[in-house]
Every structure is written in structure tokens, then in C-alpha cells.
Structure 1
């Protein structure tokens, strides 16, 4: 059967029961590995079928703590950076076009699911779109402390004041973009005494530009919307014209070589391509913790058996027992292919990248209101096995191949409709200029909407980010009144009001997420409103212990002292309830957000979270006295503040598997610096023994043991000899190319002998307290010692900072919760390059924040 023959398989994973974990590839232990969120922005390997690439996900380790409950695996928090401005597909307009007329094709792709039902017009029914958060005003007041409760002044509820929340936010001031008048500038005159050759001037291509010119050109291409006051409100028009090339589908599956077959009960199995591809998904993960997880194995095998019913083995083998399956031949083939890819020469890699970039080029940008802007996640995720986070009940289930019939395009009216790069018709084509997504589909595992947006640095995304942080800043004008109001309601006689006030207390003081109801087929994660009695333990006189799985199955454990009335309320809420009963049975996220909106327009639990993160970060940075501090001390202070915010928001991660190895490398490098300083001191002592009595020079490097010094000097000698051999070989290659006589081996031998003599001298110097001065003066050595001392001090700070952040995800806060203007202003005040704080990606994402004034405060 051809690979692209039409086929429809209805796969319903069986979730009940537990499959045996033992099978022929011999895994015996269970793992609770979690994986990265299924991202639309795929890696370079994603232009190959998943079955021909190996995606190995590190198992998340768990930091040991003496706790009553079993600790869940940590996973790095996911980013909300791609949350849609209008998170559901918009309904097509009456005059919108339906399915574009394309070349007819009946071909399907492997084990695709049934197409989504369509309405009478041939378009899929779509859920209503959420409204955008409204642009808010901005204030420079900074008079609150988010982690410290403020007592209510009285029992009477205060009325929300007219704060001018609809006022326009101040624009970020900055440098103006250079105009094109520079192109008409006169050619600079040559210096006196030097003639400019006409031929040389003409030979220079006008297309070749220096780095400075290229940088200026890139800056000119940025649409500076923040200077034009371009910001839109709810349901407003986001664009006038929009053209793009749709999405890029992954290539069809390529069957494995005929000699690569899985085995069942020791015998080779001849699988058709459709079943072989799914088996390959599992084989690629064979040596990961996923393949050791019972739920993952059970879901995979149930879905694969459904595929096998449609596409059974061609040799008649009946596959019914997971324990008898041996995927090792496929796994070994994938490993060989992966090794080949790694072994590619630099030139081969460049050629492959160039080919891929040329193929993807048209999908990477779109025309928005006549401007070229970058598209973010234009690649459609390939089929594979769902990994999920933590103990997700559907991990291991089969993700279907997405086809054009699954995708709704959003494009400007009258714009040419793109042709998909695989056979098929688009599900629908709409022209909704009140939303910012370019394409949308629904994945089959959890029924979640997937979107294609513009890139993080685009104007629309930037406006959304700025509106989010301005809304959080607006909360400063209301937070005192809101706190006083919920403090009053903590004693309300109406149970629903008392419960709502208690949830608001936790959301405000602990930055908890609101939480939503979860179905049985979703991971058991909770937020504030969905806490159960088992998640909260009371400890007299006024401590509460929280222990639950939050977003992405990240464990939240916190013992915190609370207001006595809050302690009393939790005791009341828990009375006559079982452990699995809801703690707040009179509150839902819907009712909570409705109340928050009545307190301040556009206020949600997430706004509170963003506000608390940013205001805490600003306060912590302002509290540091960095006058006279070194650059590394400033970096450590910044990261320490970021860590406190990350802990507040529960942005945890597992310590990287290579952390201990990395720290050992850093310790060795630290010792190497101290070794260099020791040699400099000894050289100084040889020139003038009086320096031994000076306090800055007399102390020995206590952590440099004799055995380590011997080992280190031996490694240095080996490196020097290797370097000499490579240099000798390179010199001979050059001589051969020039047709000259090659150097004799005796030349290399002499060089190696010189190196041996040098290191013999080092061996003689051990324990003498003296070293070769290498013809340097006292002043030069003193200067070198001073520089090395500063280098050692800075590197020590780096080590401390690296180790302190091993279980904290600092990136999530920077991307989603910390107003980037705080960092930009702080960097200007303390003369720290912004590149030390923000990656290139973040600088591109927040161009509107980079030119803020140093005096700016959240």
C-alpha cells in the first residue's frame, strides 16, 4: 500500500488498568520523567519524520526533602508567551471565503483521525473568541508590599474610585530611527597625502555593507509602534491587510531499510509503513524514562494496536503482548543515523542548513499592513507520542498527523490563498482582523487549540506584552482598596464571600494561580480555587502548609504564616469534609474573576501574579546598595532578586543532570586561576623575598593540593604537546600546498623536547616557593597578580550563582512576569550591558522596553 494512501483510523486510548512494564528490551524500573511542553516551534530535526530522529528527554530529578507526601517530579514551567490575544478561532464573517479551490486529491496520510465536522458552509464550527484585556493607564506610585498583608481600616466596603483606567499609557522615550537622508550624504574626503584608487572604489560592491551599516539597517526595519501610540482595545482592528504562506507540514514518512525490523517473541516482524512509523516513535524513546513508565507504555500499546488492526504485519504476526516486543533493532538504527548526522562536516551542515532555510524562507515572514514581519511557529508539529508533564494520564498516546483539512487559515480579504505543501484542502479560510493568529487547528490528545502567531518581537505581540504589564501597573492604584475590602470579607457571615476573600488573600500574598476544574483525562493539577482539603494542613498557632501539584505538575510546597482570621477560616472550611473534597466549595474561577473585574476593570488572578512578581522584583533591586560593586557582584544581586521572584511564583525546575559535572569543571577552572596566581606570587618572591611579608601576597592558596598540582601540570603538558603536533601538521599542509619541502620530524621532536624541559622546570619549582619570572619586572608581576585576584573573585561569584540557581527557572519570570522595563532601567543606572541580563531572544521580544529612561519605576 502506498505511504500516502487514504486511511482513517479511530484511535481511542484505553486508560483503565496497568500494563506490564517488562519486555524484551529489559527495563525494570519505573520513572516519573516529565518532558518539555509539546511546542509548535520545532527544532532542526523536525524536518525529518519523528521516527528517524531521537528526541531524548531528560528525566526530572527530585530534590530530597523530609516531607510526608511523595514528591512529584519537577518540570520546568512552560511559557505563556504564545497565549493568543483572542484564544479561540473567530467565526467567519458572512462574506468570508470558504474552502479555496485547489487541485483535487484523495490522498491521506497514514493513521490520520476523522476530519472535524463542518457546518453547512463547509467551515468548521468554532468556539467563541475571548476578548482582549483593555489597555490601562500607568502610574509611577510604588507604595505597596505584595508579600506583607495590610490590615483593613474599617468594616465598611470602599467603592472603586474613578482612576482614569482608560488613559493612554506613556510612550517609551528613545532614539529616533535614522532617516534615509544619510544615503545622500557626501562621500567622505580622503586624508591628505593618501590617494584613493578609482578602481578600488568602484570594485567594492554596493551590496556589501559593514557591520555598523547592517546594524543600522536592521534597526530601521523595526516598526516602532510604541512611538506612534499604536495600541488597540478589546475587539478592535488589529490589522488592515495580511498576507502569509500558511504553515509548513512535516514531510511524509520514509520507510526504514528492509533489513531493519522489530522483533516479536524473538522473530522478525514485517510491518507496513503505517504501523512501522508508530513503532518507530516508541523505538526512538527506548532508552529514556518514558519507556520505563507504565502509563506511557500502556497508552502507546493501546493506540498502536488500533493502528495494527488497520495495517497488520504483512507476515501475519499477531502482536498482542507488549512484553514480547523488541524495538532494539529500530533504536540502534536511529542511533547510528543520529551519530552520522553529528559526524557531518561543517561544510555539509552549512549546505543542509542552507537547503532547509531556502525551503522554509517563504513561511518565515508575512506582510502585515504592508510591513514584512516575522512569523513565529510556522511549522506544524509532526506526529509522535504525547509526553505531557508529570503524571499526565494520556502520556504515550498517539498524536495524529495534522493535515490541511484540520487547519483554519486567517488571512486578509483579497490576499492570495496559499497552497499547502502536502495534498489536501484547508479546513476553512477566514478574514478576521480582530484576532492576531494566522492559522489554527485542534490537536487530538487534549482537544487544545494550536495557533500560529507572529514572532515574539512583532508589533502585535509587543503591544500585547506592553498592555499586560501596564494592566499590572494599574493595579497599584487599586490594590490598597482591594486589600481592605477582602480583609473585611474575611469575616463575612456569607460563606461564599468569606471563601472568595480567603482565595484572594492567597492569590495576593502567595502569587497562587486561580486554578481550573480538571477532567479525569487530565493531569491532577490544582490552583487556589480548586484546592482540596488534602492539599492544606493547619499547624497551630497560625501556620498553613500547602502541598499540591500546580501547573505542569510542578509541586508546590510551602509552610507559611498567615493572618489569624485566615487560619480560622481554613479550619472552618475543612470541617465535616473528606480529604478529597474541595476546600473552597463556594468559589469558582469564573465567580472569582467576575468579582475581581468589579474591583478593577480587566483585573484577573494573573494580573495579580504579574503585579506581585514585578513589584517585588523592583523592591528587591532597589534595596541593594551596589555603589562600587563589580560587574559580577551586580549580576549576582540581579539574579538573587530574580530567584526570589521565581520562588514566589513557584518557577522550579529539576537540577540539570550535568550540574555536578559542570560544577566540578568550574571548580577545576577556579583552581587553575589560583594556580596561575600562585606562580605569579612565587615569581615575585624570587625577584624580591620581602614581598612574602606583604599581607596581599603572603597567604598560600590553601585548596591547591600537591596531587592536584601534579595532575594539572601533566594535563597542561599534554595539551601543549597536542597543540605543537597540530601546528606542525598544519604547517606541513601549507608547505605541501605551496609546493615547498616539508619539515622533518626532528623539528617536531625539538619542539616537544622544549615543552618537556619547561614542565621539568615546573616540577623542580614545586614546594620551593619560587618560580621563573619569564623576564618580567616587579611592576608587571604585581599588575598581573591584581588582575588575577579580581578574576578569581568574579569567578567565585559565578560558581555561587550557578549553584544557587540549579533548581530555579529564572527564564519564566523574565519572559512572562517581570516588566522588562525594570531590567532596562536598572542596567542603565548601574552601567550593566543589557546583554548580560537578556538573551538576544528577549531583546528582540521587548524592543519597546529597551529605551526606557533610567528613572523609570514599575
Structure 2
């Protein structure tokens, strides 16, 4: 493709700081070649560290339990799961730690010093050698990076072949089109029969988007026609993978029917794509409750003196006081500084602070403020709410849901659609993510006077709260938002949009993945062109080619210009600064910068020799810290260049394309062998994991991972202990079995030592007690709700006797070293059947543990939800006969209804 930059006097993309020369001289090229003459053993195009950096103090959410009971953590006294190599080799030590031990000479050139040496590095991601990608072969000595590079190269070669094949097929179809049109014209005179009289062969016509359109004159039986999906109609939503119930009981009859789903993927396309709706009716937004003043005895203290503040200032003090337990925020110096500035400004604005005698108090030092009384008050209210009975909680939720019900849906072109964020954010303190410069500032209360409503011309405008009015009413049918306002922290606009499960959001997702599918046709030409331009004489062309290489190979975000004063200084590829890139000969590049959401991104990647040389040129003196690396390129110019290949192509499409095409390629290689359901799920997860690694969508190991793995290990050991007890019961019934099966079969597993068994027995007794107490409390709540008397404590004591008996039983077994068979009519056959079931459970749990361990550096959900076409997951589920629920939660099934249903009749759909 012809270069976009042919003029020497082309304006610079960025004018701040030192800039590169317009042309790269042959002398410069030669000089850089000589400077980097050593060869690398590592293959290019691969990350040798995985994921973003997580600081030690960063809040890491604990994993959700997905509705299952959460097992309490207890210390395992047997050998722990080994995750890391204990050998002390300096070569394997994280780069940041090794560099910290070496002092740089005062006169050394620190231009290429990694950011990690200049500031506290936090927790670096693991090296690629520590990361598994599902290949468990131990006899292969080939380095992991080499395996990754081969896999990636193979996938890229397939992409090149496929792109050429698609274009050749389209070219052939284009040439054949005139002949086909001529034939159709000659046949048109013969087509005099009404369409209804033509006999249908029952086949479906494929549409351009991969959806099959059913013929209207189908010969299907009338009963089936009644339930057939209409081309542009509505059908009742059924959870995918759920078997149809033959009979309906009373419970099913009482269940309210689900809302009908609009099958937009079957509907004819609009002539004007920019018009989003013809009619729109909604009820506006829900405002947070008004502020309730603190009781008179609860005061903010300043240097030990209780203060009387205005309502406005008191509310702001309450924001800080209520979150006193969130040390990550309240102990952050930037958070404190920003809060203190906004708080003292509000105090001055509203008449100042006064002591008990009415004297004005000047608040000058943050350290003298004491929020403990405020925290104690709000914490007490939280505990009160937690202490409510489940009946009270349900009643409160029902009341809240009833109030919000009118706002949860809107009428969009005559059909009901779910609204997403219909609640206006309550006021509070801005937290931000990562190292945001505005963390701690006060988020002001949003009033109706700041809100613009977007609604149909003939619709009834929702009433503003009493005494207020809306900022504006507009009727923009090219916009998909229902309400909008500007927040005070960053001046950003907030929008009330439809929910993720709505047809509008679904269409947006569909278009995103279709655009990525379209990129398949052009990817070979793009890669060929940027590989050629890596040696371009014009600096702008070489910078653009290098940027596209980094975006394609390492999934870097393009990056936009930021206002450093008002926003966190987050960067992407085009906005990388001198200090964000460290060059480590012969061809390793270290990235260290604040990425999306102010999360620190640290990665070490191996690049092509020419790319390494180019980055050296882009960093060449007189450039220094603070200067742009890609000073003759910005995202607008980059995306404009990409549109020359296909309309609407931008840098972000590469992430979606690479993830989806890689997943598609990996899934095609799988064979539907006779394996268990859990093994099939693991097969899919292994592919998902490879996508995340090969496309650089990775994360650092979560703080809770080792604890979670220890719990799983304990659960497996618990099942092994249960098995051992059953085997001892077999000996109790029939001692001859020891000779028959061999003494080893009855031995205790090596993993289970005496100390662990005693701890496990105590855990089982405690678990039994908690189960009885919980059931007792629930039954009492039900009795109270029904107006009956509660059961007495005596009843609970009697029930707890079961746990006491279990404790006595364990003590007796430990003393006598004999386990008596229990249950109704125990036999050897029954007990052996139980052992077999436990074997299956242990095998399944070990697979799950292996899967979890493999996923520790990979956020599978991020790739699966945002970058991998959901239709690929549906195709896998169909091919391997796995319920879609194993991959998509109820929320995701609603979000991806279009993917699940649009290809339900297609066995040959491909990305």
C-alpha cells in the first residue's frame, strides 16, 4: 500500500519536546546496525513476562463463590502445593529486584534505565517460563518461549493463507456475478407462479451475517410452524442448554412468563443505520436519597475539639469518616490532600467550623482531624443492617424494587428493553483506579438541573423531582442514550444507556465481532506492508509501521492524548514516552507505564531486530525523559491509515481479531473424543488460556490464589480421608477383604498425616454444628413470619447432639484405631460403590485444581467476554455437547442471546 506520508514538510503529529528527524539517513541506519550486532536466542513476537503489575497494597477482590457455600479456610499441615521453584538462581530473579541491588555510577547514562529502577516496582508479573499453556509434556526440553513463538507463527501463516483464499473466492464471485444476473433476467419471464405454490425443500437461506433465514412457505407440521421463529418477530427466551420440561407442575404454572426477546439478528436491516429508534418512551432516572444529618452527639473532632459544621460540610466529612476502614484509600497521601482541599473549601464557603462555645475554628492541618466518632456511627448502622433477619431484608429489597421498577425498562420502537445504569451516582469521594491524581476529590450530588433527557417527540416527558426541572429535553433518534449529565471530577459525560442484554448493545457487540471477521481478508496485506515499512526512509512511515507491529503482536492499546493536569497520565502505544521503554540488547524491549484505568503495565517482550533498531532510533539523542517516542504519529493518523485497508478499521480491532482468530484456530484442532464433561471444559479453558498468553491478555497472580488452591487441596484430601474411612468399614464387615485386595489398598494416603486428620475432624464437627444452627435459625424466622411461636433453645441443644455424637465417634476411632460400619444395612458392594463415586469426585476436583492453577496468570473472563467472538464458544459447546452454562453465566447468556440463537441451526459456522 502506498505511503500516507510522502511530503517532507508533513506537519508533526506532536509538537511538544524534542522530535525525530524527518528522514532516517543511511548513516544512522548503519550505525544502529553496528551497535546491535549480537544475535538473540529468543524468538521474536513473544512476551517473556506476563500481565500487568499489581502493587503490594492494591486491593484485590476475593473470588466469588457463584452461589455455592464458601468453605472456611484452615491451615493444611501436610505438604503444601508447590508453585515456585525454590532454587536460588540470580538469573531467574525478577529484573526489578536484580537491578535494585546494583548502584548506577553517577555519570552513567540512565536513558535506558527501566522505570522499575526509578520507583517502587510493586509486584512484577511472572516470567513466561513460569507460565503453563496447557501443554503438560515433561519430556520436551524445548523452551516455552520457542513453543509459543512456533504456535504464534503457525497461526499467522494460517491467517495469511485464509486471507488470500477469501479474497480469491470473492474475486471469483464478483466475476461470476454478471453472468448470474444475465441468467436471472432470462429466467424472470418464466417465474409466473405465486411464491406460495412453489414447493419448499425445507432448506434455509444463509444471510451475510451467518444467520439462516427460514423460508416462509415451509412444509413443516402446523404444530412446529406455530413455534417457529419469525423473521422479525419475537420469541420467548429460554435459557440455552436447558432441557424442555414435559410436564408442568403448580410451581411452573405460578412462574411469571419471561419477557419476549426481540430477534434483531433475523430482522431486515434498516436503510439508514444511523437512525437508532423511531419512538422512545422512558421514565427518567432514580436519584440517590437526600442526606440525613448526623445525630447531635456525633461530631467531627479537630485537635480533640468537637466541631459544628454546615450540612454540606458535614456530609463531606461523613464521606471520609464512613470509609475509615478502607486504608488503601484513606492512608493514601494524594487521597488525603485532595479531600482536605475540597473539605476546607466547603467549610469556608458555608460559614466555617465552630467549637461548642460557638467560636470559629480554623482547620489548617489534616492530621488533627479525627473521624472516629463518625466512623463508629456509620459502622453501627452497617452492623444493624447486617443483623436484620432474612425476612426483613427481603421485605426491604421488595420495597426498593417496587420503587425502581418503572425505571428498569423503556419502550423502544414499541418493544420493551432493559435499561442499564438508571441510577444517578450518589455523592462521595472519588477513588479512581491505580495512581489517579484526583483520587479523594468530592463527587458532587447531581441535580435534575444538570440532566438532559433524550426521548421521543410524542412521548410523555418524565416529571422531574418536585421543585426541580430538567436541564434540557431533546429528541435525538441517532443517539442511544436516555439521559446525560456532566460529572465534576474530570468533566466527563455520564450516560444512561440500555442494559448489556438489550438488542441495541447486542447489535453493537455483533458489529464489533463482524468487523474483526472482516479484518481476516486484509491481515496479510497489513502485515506485509508494515513489515516493509519498518525499513522506510521517512521517519513518519517507520514510526507508524513500528506502532502497528507493537499493536498487532503485543496487543498494546493505541493510546490517546491526555490532559496531564486533569486526567491520570495513562498511555498507550502512540503516546509512549522516552522513559516508558527500555531497550535490552540484543532485542528485548521492556515496557513500564500506567495503562488503562491507571493500572501499571510492565512487560518484557522479544521483538524483531529491525523493530529493536527502530526504537533505538526513536530514542536517539537529543531525546530524553518526557519526550514522545512516536513523535511523528498519533492515534488519529494511525487509524486514518488503517481505514485505507478497510472501512472502519482502527487499532482496537486487532485485539478482537487476534483473540478470535487464535481461538478459532485452536478450537478447530480439537477432536471430540470420549472424555468427561469436566475434561471438555478444561479443553476449552486451555484454548482460552493460550489465547490470553499468545495475545498478551494476561494478569499477575491474584493475592488469593494460593489460599484458594490450598482450600481445593484440603477438599481433595477430605474426600481421600472419607474414602479411607469407608475402606476401614469394609474391613469391619469382612476382614478377609484385606487379603483379597491387598494391605496397600487399605493404607492411608501419604498426604494425610495424623495432625491433618485431627484438624479435619474438628472442622467436620464444627461444620455440622454450623449447619444445624443455620437451619434452626431459618426455621424460626419462618415461624415468626407465619405468626407462630419460635422454637426454644432446648430444641437447638437436642439437635446439636448429632454434632456431639460425631465428635465422640471420632475420639473413639482415634483411640481404638478401628472404624465401625455405619448406615442402614451396610454391605461391601454398597461401600465399594461409594468409593467409586468418590474416585470420580476426586478426579474431577483434581482437574478443576489443575485448571485453576493454569489460569492463575490469565483472566479468562476478560478474553472470553470482550475479545473472543461468543459464537466460537457456542460452536464448541454444540460440537462437544457441553451445556453453554458451563461457559456463560445467566448474565452472559442474556448478553449473548444473539450469538447463542443466531447460529443454533448452523453446524459449519466459522469465525
Aligned position for 2:390: 346
Aligned position for 2:509: 465
**Residues 709-735 of structure 1: CA distance to partner in whole angstroms, max 9, x if unpaired?**
12222333455567678889999999x
Aligned position for 1:436: 480
Instruction: Measure how far apart 1:491 and its partner are.
Output: 1.4
- Sort the Cα spacing of 1:678 and 1:649 in 2 relative to 1 into closer, same or farther, 3 A: same
Q: Does structure 1 residue 759 correspond to structure 2 residue 810?
A: yes
Q: Does structure 1 residue 810 correspond to structure 2 residue 850?
A: no
CA distance in 1 between partners of 2:788 and 2:679 (Å): 51
**Residues 353-389 of structure 1: CA distance to partner in whole angstroms, max 9, x if unpaired?**
1111111111111111111111110001111111111
**1:394-433 map, 5 Å:** 394-421=438-465, 423-433=467-477
**1:358-369 map, 5 Å:** 358-369=402-413
- Sort the Cα spacing of 1:210 and 1:227 in 2 relative to 1 into closer, same or farther, 3 A: farther
SS in 2 for 1:290: helix
- Sort the Cα spacing of 1:762 and 1:725 in 2 relative to 1 into closer, same or farther, 3 A: farther
Q: Does structure 1 residue 528 correspond to structure 2 residue 573?
A: yes
Is the Cα–Cα contact under 8 Å of residues 147 and 510 in structure 1 kept in the other structure?
A: no
- Sort the Cα spacing of 1:508 and 1:833 in 2 relative to 1 into closer, same or farther, 3 A: same
Structure 2: 5+ residue runs without aligned partners? 1-54, 62-92, 100-115, 126-150, 162-166, 175-205, 228-247
Structure 1: 5+ residue runs without aligned partners? 1-29, 37-63, 77-142, 154-158, 186-206
- Sort the Cα spacing of 1:632 and 1:231 in 2 relative to 1 into closer, same or farther, 3 A: farther
**Pick aligned residue for 2:370 from 294, 303, 326:** 326
Aligned position for 1:280: 318
- Sort the Cα spacing of 1:656 and 1:540 in 2 relative to 1 into closer, same or farther, 3 A: closer
Aligned position for 2:307: 269
Which deviates more, 252-261 or 704-713? 704-713
Aligned position for 2:548: 504
CA distance in 2 between partners of 1:574 and 1:679 (Å): 68
Instruction: Measure how far apart 1:306 and its partner are.
Output: 1.1
Q: Does structure 1 residue 689 correspond to structure 2 residue 737?
A: yes
- Sort the Cα spacing of 1:305 and 1:682 in 2 relative to 1 into closer, same or farther, 3 A: same
**1:176-575 map, 5 Å:** 210-211=251-252, 214=255, 217-218=257-258, 221-230=260-269, 234=273, 236-288=274-326, 289-311=328-350, 312-314=352-354, 315=358, 316-421=360-465, 423-521=467-565, 522-575=567-620
**Residues 286-338 of structure 1: CA distance to partner in whole angstroms, max 9, x if unpaired?**
22211111111101111111111112224322211111100111011111111
Is the Cα–Cα contact under 8 Å of residues 535 and 546 in structure 1 kept in the other structure?
A: yes
Is the Cα–Cα contact under 8 Å of residues 555 and 697 in structure 2 kept in the other structure?
A: no
Instruction: Measure how far apart 1:277 and its partner are.
Output: 0.4
CA RMSD of aligned residues (A): 4.1
Aligned position for 1:677: 723
SS in 2 for 1:226: coil
- Sort the Cα spacing of 1:252 and 1:389 in 2 relative to 1 into closer, same or farther, 3 A: same
Instruction: Measure how far apart 1:571 and its partner are.
Output: 1.9
Aligned position for 2:758: 710
CA distance in 2 between partners of 1:228 and 1:729 (Å): 53
CA distance in 1 between partners of 2:649 and 2:56 (Å): 41
Instruction: Measure how far apart 1:484 and its partner are.
Output: 1.0
* Number of aligned residues: 705
SS in 2 for 1:520: coil
**Pick aligned residue for 2:631 from 578, 585, 588:** 585
Instruction: Measure how far apart 1:423 and its partner are.
Output: 3.5
- Sort the Cα spacing of 1:490 and 1:694 in 2 relative to 1 into closer, same or farther, 3 A: farther
Aligned position for 2:35: none
Instruction: Measure how far apart 1:528 and its partner are.
Output: 0.8
SS in 2 for 1:609: helix
Is the Cα–Cα contact under 8 Å of residues 536 and 547 in structure 1 kept in the other structure?
A: yes
Which deviates more, 406-415 or 649-658? 649-658
Aligned position for 1:789: 839
**Residues 741-784 of structure 1: CA distance to partner in whole angstroms, max 9, x if unpaired?**
99999977986775466334432463x69866864333322222
SS in 2 for 1:446: coil
Is the Cα–Cα contact under 8 Å of residues 689 and 858 in structure 2 kept in the other structure?
A: yes
Is the Cα–Cα contact under 8 Å of residues 559 and 635 in structure 2 kept in the other structure?
A: yes
CA distance in 2 between partners of 1:746 and 1:209 (Å): 37
SS in 2 for 1:477: coil
Instruction: Measure how far apart 1:583 and its partner are.
Output: 1.2
Is the Cα–Cα contact under 8 Å of residues 383 and 401 in structure 1 kept in the other structure?
A: yes
CA distance in 2 between partners of 1:729 and 1:446 (Å): 49
- Sort the Cα spacing of 1:738 and 1:563 in 2 relative to 1 into closer, same or farther, 3 A: closer
Is the Cα–Cα contact under 8 Å of residues 529 and 589 in structure 1 kept in the other structure?
A: yes
- Sort the Cα spacing of 1:419 and 1:762 in 2 relative to 1 into closer, same or farther, 3 A: same
**1:638-649 map, 5 Å:** 638-647=684-693
Is the Cα–Cα contact under 8 Å of residues 172 and 848 in structure 1 kept in the other structure?
A: no
**Residues 600-649 of structure 1: CA distance to partner in whole angstroms, max 9, x if unpaired?**
11100111111111112223333445623322222233233333434456
- Sort the Cα spacing of 1:753 and 1:368 in 2 relative to 1 into closer, same or farther, 3 A: closer
- Sort the Cα spacing of 1:594 and 1:261 in 2 relative to 1 into closer, same or farther, 3 A: same
- Sort the Cα spacing of 1:442 and 1:146 in 2 relative to 1 into closer, same or farther, 3 A: farther
Aligned position for 1:607: 653
CA distance in 1 between partners of 2:249 and 2:410 (Å): 26
What TM-score comes out, normalization by structure 2 length? 0.70
CA distance in 1 between partners of 2:348 and 2:413 (Å): 50
- Sort the Cα spacing of 1:71 and 1:782 in 2 relative to 1 into closer, same or farther, 3 A: farther
Instruction: Measure how far apart 1:148 and its partner are.
Output: 4.7
Is the Cα–Cα contact under 8 Å of residues 32 and 391 in structure 1 kept in the other structure?
A: no
Q: Does structure 1 residue 857 correspond to structure 2 residue 910?
A: yes
CA distance in 1 between partners of 2:412 and 2:699 (Å): 38
